Amino acid sequence: MRRFRPLVTIAVLCAALLVGCARKKPPAPPPTPPSQSAEDAARGVVINYMQHLQDGNYAAAHALLSADSRKRHPLDEFTRYARAGITYFDLSSARAKLVAPQRAEVTLHLEADPASATVVAVREGGKWRVVYLRGRPGFPYP
């Protein structure tokens, strides 16, 4: 029995070495979150824009404008127009429709009126932005 002890020890060590060096499966990657649709992203930016206006956070609303809209309306002018009056929309009513790969129309219903308004959003550099060329910041006309 003693004469087999070194062989058994070597066999056990070899087995342990083989098990320890065996290839392990890499862990599964975390699940990819579902991507946001273009309509949902455009709807989200318009809702955030309107919420910032309603909250009086004009700089944050201005930052969500398209590059052309920011160029046409510097922050001081934008703030002055926004303070002159805000239209309140039922933000939960927002519905977006993609009208081109980089352009969406988001329709919002007024809170105290059955009327609605459509706000245009464009995708710039992978981010959706609000188009405000004329009108008031809270009721932009593209």
- Which CATH number covers residue 109? 3.10.450.100
Task: Summarize pLDDT for 90-109 with one digit per residue, the tens.
Answer: 999 999 999 999 999 999 99
Backbone angles phi, psi at 5, to 5 degrees: -55, -45
Backbone angles phi, psi at 28, to 5 degrees: -65, 140
Total domains, the chain:
1
Task: Summarize pLDDT for 35-55 with one digit per residue, the tens.
Answer: 679 999 999 999 999 999 999
Percentages helix, strand, coil for the chain, rounded to the nearest 5? 40, 30, 30
Query: What's the pTM?
Result: 0.73
42 within some domain: yes
74 within some domain: yes
